[in-house]
Amino acid sequence: MEAGAALLLLSALWGIASTQTFYGDSISIVHPHVEEDGILKVTFHHRQNGRGDCENQSIYTWEDGTPYTALNMTHGLVTDMDDTGQGRWCQTEGQTTVTIITNDTSFRLSESGCCWVSNVNGKTNWTTYAELNVGTRSDTHVLNNCPATTTVSSLRVPQNCFSEYQLLAHDPDGDHVRCRFMSQANVSSNVTLNETTCTLMSMGEVDVGVHVFEIVVEDYPAESINLTYKDGTSDVWDPSNMSLPLCKLSLQFTLEILAKIPDCDAGHVVPKFLSSTPSHGSVLSATVGQRFHLMAEAQAHHASINDFQISGPMRMSKEFTDEAHGKAKLALSWTPEESDAHRVVPVCFTAETNESQSDMRCVVVTVSEASVLQGKVTVRCLSKKMVVAIEKASIPDIDENFLRLKDESCTVTSNSTHIIARTAFSGCGTRLEDEGDFITFKNVIKSIVLPTEIINRRRTVMIDFSCQFPKAMSISSSFKLEDSDYIFTESSFGSFGFSFNIYGNSSFIDKVDPSAYPVEVKMLDMVYMGIKAESELPSVKLFVESCKATPDDNPDNGVFYDLIKNGCLQDETIIVYSPDETTFNFEVQAFKFSGDYNQVYITCSVILCEPESPFSRCAQGCLTDAARRRRRSLSRETESHQIIQGPLQFAWQDVHSAAVENNNFNVAVESHDMPVEVIPPPVSSDTKSSREDWKDKEDFSTNISTSTSAGTNISTIFFACSFLASLVSLAVVVGHFTRKRKAEDCKALIGSDQKS
């Protein structure tokens, strides 16, 4: 492939070019396209990270001698800086639009400069670049869109808290994205990069200090496509050919490894993002001329969040609010301009404390032009699908035969008055997005161009539609998860539920009816229980991370017994049956807690994962070391949710009880070191004869006690006399044998003397 046209981005005349304050940078290319006269027009945004004074950081000029017809540059504007007055970080963004004449197959941007901030890698000079194939794709009929990626200016993590760090790598065309280290990168020891998930991972302890990372982000088509160039030539692009990416972007950043801290749990000293914050990788929407808002919330119980660090577009405003209980809020707002139309904007943010920093959370904001379509559209949000009806009269000259949903295999229908589209929340390319307190299902009705068409004169149609549900909604009005006892709504997973049942036997078919609770069991009997997950998503995997028994329905009771812990079986009697990925059945031998307890409750912590995610908690299985638990933000999985079942109540066991035979009490009991209390058998509430039998025994005992009371004194005197007589007899016998033994000893002694 030819090298392509080159654009040289000269470093700043002042600022980072002359001092050791370069923290990294990123480039994003905005919807490159070919003008009507065949001239290529490319707009790119360049974000640079540093510290101290960022005002003079990005001045772009065009390389002398390279042909161009127009050039529009903006001076770099500060998008974020340290508000504490310490000058710890800052970021600028500049925009350049160039119109060039080229017959090459690719377009390349490059820049180099000095100097990296002082680092353990020994890096000084830096180089950044981007390369874009300028062929028209056969699947989208436009030029390729490069992946969106960026980082905040200054990343830092305590040494003992660094296990994985997920980067943003979103592709607008749905291509596969791969990340790799630059060929000239000096990679820190004990650090590796998962190229498929774009995740930094530590393979051991990483040295304290500032580490430089130089990464290339590339995209590859999910399926084979043709790329057609300006001169009429074309190439076939095979996704299996990993040497031919459609686009290459450099991503450079620093990660400072801080000293160890006592506790790495998110929310303790290290801030954690709360549920109102969009999930990592969420795709949000903005419209030209309309105010876009993004809210985030974090909490650290034992540290003070003093700021949020952001990486965003020019003119994005940031508002920080400090709240009670270690919480803090971030409010971002931005109004896209005409030049931002069709832009895919990466936005990243972290919560900052003096001791640490939260995980980096990144989203993507897609900017669309202001809608000019005034057609009448009705969207119905049903239990599991969306139905869209477009009034034909409001959009004349539209051929519904060329309309599709986002997944082009999904067509629309029509009647005499309306064009109708139907899609499940989990089908036809419907995308679920987390928007703080709401979850939104989005899709689009769009016009298509057939591969065999050379020209067409149809109007372009692009109608976005969505259904939004509050997270704290009444599930019954929006989702029908009838079989679930516990229902949750969460980012990227929508609504999902769990049922937790007790069964009569090992077939796990016949559930114990709720009216039978508490469920009576006998000691050492087998108890059969089952957990079932239900989700609106087409494919999920259930993972039971823990199950523990407590003597009451408080899962935090200090008296507990682990059945399953960290995904590992703890009780030797447990047998697990998992007929499918959403079912977890198990049996365990009945037991009771020592002491004055006769009930047992079982509380389990359950997680749902995407089955294909290699880093999810489900994929890890049993972890004997809880510290190896991967962070949730690195994979698609839900939070851990607790579900509880019980009580199991222990039935009275058969005991040998008092019986009356021939006017005497004969009690049969087992031998114990401690006194044994003989307890009468329980009274059956529905057996009259049992009550009467026991009453007869009570009456009989009373009669015996009464009839014998008169002779108590005589019996006592008789017993005393007998006892004294026995003692006298015993003394006589002992005296007799003592005298006899002395006589024998004496005789033996005399005999011995005579012999001598």
Closest CA to 255 of 289, 219, 215, 211: 211
Q: Provide the pLDDT for residue 462.
A: 74
* Cβ burial, residue 606 (10 Å; 0-12/13-18/19+): buried
Cα 267 versus chain centre, distance? 15
Range in 32-46, 391-405, 660-674 with the lowest mean pLDDT: 660-674
Is pLDDT of 728 > 60? no
Q: Provide the pLDDT for residue 332.
A: 95
Which residue blocks in 149-198 are alpha helix, DSSP H?
Answer: none
Mean pLDDT throughout 236-256?
90
Is pLDDT of 32 > 70? yes
* Cβ burial, residue 438 (10 Å; 0-12/13-18/19+): middle
Q: How far is CA 610 from CA 174, 540, 569, in A?
A: 18, 5, 23
Confidence class for position 64, pLDDT limits 50, 70, 90: very low
Confidence class for position 17, pLDDT limits 50, 70, 90: very low
Confidence class for position 306, pLDDT limits 50, 70, 90: very high
Confidence class for position 750, pLDDT limits 50, 70, 90: very low
308 - beta bridge partners? 351
Closest CA to 279 of 518, 502, 490: 490
Q: Provide the pLDDT for residue 53.
A: 61
Query: Computed from CA positions of residues 133, 136, 137, 141, in that sequence, does the dihedral angle turn out positive or negative?
Result: positive
User: Three-state SS for 143?
Assistant: strand
Is pLDDT of 393 > 60? yes
- Are 133 and 227 spatial neighbours (Cβ–Cβ below 8 Å)? yes
The whole-angstrom separation of Cα 157 and Cα 635 is 19
Confidence class for position 413, pLDDT limits 50, 70, 90: confident
Mean pLDDT throughout 544-567?
92
Query: Computed from CA positions of residues 623, 626, 629, 632, in that sequence, does the dihedral angle turn out positive or negative?
Result: positive
The whole-angstrom separation of Cα 76 and Cα 315 is 11
Is pLDDT of 60 > 60? no
Is pLDDT of 115 > 60? yes
| Structure-derived torsion over alpha carbons of residues 703, 709, 710, 711, reported in degrees to the nearest 10 | 110
> Quick one: residue 492, left, alpha or beta (phi over 0 = left, psi -120 to 50 = alpha)?
left
The whole-angstrom separation of Cα 517 and Cα 600 is 12
The whole-angstrom separation of Cα 106 and Cα 142 is 14
Higher pLDDT, 574 or 232: 574
What is the percent of the chain with per-residue pLDDT over 70, rounded to a whole number?
Answer: 72
The whole-angstrom separation of Cα 20 and Cα 305 is 28
The whole-angstrom separation of Cα 558 and Cα 551 is 10
Query: Computed from CA positions of residues 174, 178, 183, 188, in that sequence, does the dihedral angle turn out positive or negative?
Result: positive
Range in 6-20, 190-204, 234-248, 581-595 with the lowest mean pLDDT: 6-20
Confidence class for position 190, pLDDT limits 50, 70, 90: very high
DSSP string, 504-550: SSTT--SBPPGGGPSEEE-TT-EEEEEEEEEESSS--EEEEEEEEEE
The whole-angstrom separation of Cα 297 and Cα 578 is 38
Backbone dihedral angles phi then psi of residue 745, each to the nearest 5 degrees: -65, -40
- Are 439 and 471 spatial neighbours (Cβ–Cβ below 8 Å)? yes
**To 5 degrees, how large is the angle CA 125–CA 131–CA 134?**
165
440 - beta bridge partners? 433, 468
Higher pLDDT, 33 or 353: 353
Q: Provide the pLDDT for residue 214.
A: 96
Mean pLDDT throughout 220-227?
91
Mean pLDDT throughout 691-707?
38
Q: Provide the pLDDT for residue 458.
A: 61
Is pLDDT of 20 > 70? no
The whole-angstrom separation of Cα 273 and Cα 358 is 8
Is pLDDT of 624 > 70? yes
DSSP string, 602-642: EEEEEEEE-TT-TTSHHHH---SSGGGPPPGGGSSBPPPEE
**To 5 degrees, how large is the angle CA 204–CA 207–CA 212?**
105
Pairing mode, strands 541-550 and 526-535: unpaired
Q: Provide the pLDDT for residue 691.
A: 36
User: Three-state SS for 669?
Assistant: coil
> Quick one: residue 694, left, alpha or beta (phi over 0 = left, psi -120 to 50 = alpha)?
alpha
Q: What is the DSSP letter of 738?
A: H
User: Three-state SS for 756?
Assistant: coil
Q: Provide the pLDDT for residue 426.
A: 73
Confidence class for position 73, pLDDT limits 50, 70, 90: low
Q: Which residues of 572-597 are buried (b: 16+ CB within 10 A; e: fewer)?
A: eeeeeeeeebbebbbbbebbbbeeee
Average pLDDT, the chain: 77
Closest CA to 282 of 167, 189, 209, 365: 365
Range in 181-190, 301-310, 554-563, 678-687 with the lowest mean pLDDT: 678-687
What is the percent of the chain with per-residue pLDDT over 90, rounded to a whole number?
Answer: 34
- Are 587 and 575 spatial neighbours (Cβ–Cβ below 8 Å)? yes
Range in 1-10, 114-123, 265-274, 278-287 with the lowest mean pLDDT: 1-10
Compute the half-sphere exposure of residue 723: CA atoms within 13 Å on the CB side of its CA.
6
Q: Provide the pLDDT for residue 567.
A: 93
Mean pLDDT throughout 104-114?
84
Range in 411-420, 427-436, 477-486, 567-576 with the lowest mean pLDDT: 477-486
Is pLDDT of 39 > 60? yes
The whole-angstrom separation of Cα 529 and Cα 310 is 48
The whole-angstrom separation of Cα 638 and Cα 492 is 8
Mean pLDDT throughout 105-124?
88
Q: Provide the pLDDT for residue 155.
A: 95
- The domains of the chain, with CATH numbers, are 1-253 (no CATH), 261-370 (2.60.40.10), 377-476 (2.60.40.3210), 481-650 (2.60.40.4100)
Pairing mode, strands 40-50 and 90-100: antiparallel
Cα 637 versus chain centre, distance? 4
Q: Provide the pLDDT for residue 238.
A: 86
> Quick one: residue 566, left, alpha or beta (phi over 0 = left, psi -120 to 50 = alpha)?
left
The whole-angstrom separation of Cα 198 and Cα 391 is 45
Mean pLDDT throughout 455-463?
66
Cα 738 versus chain centre, distance? 90
Q: Which two tokens stand for residue 551?
A: 């003597």
Q: Provide the pLDDT for residue 752.
A: 41
Is pLDDT of 65 > 90? no
Confidence class for position 714, pLDDT limits 50, 70, 90: very low
496 - beta bridge partners? 488, 535
Q: How far is CA 311 from CA 20, 491, 609, in A?
A: 21, 22, 29
- Are 282 and 295 spatial neighbours (Cβ–Cβ below 8 Å)? no
Is pLDDT of 415 > 70? yes
Confidence class for position 208, pLDDT limits 50, 70, 90: very high
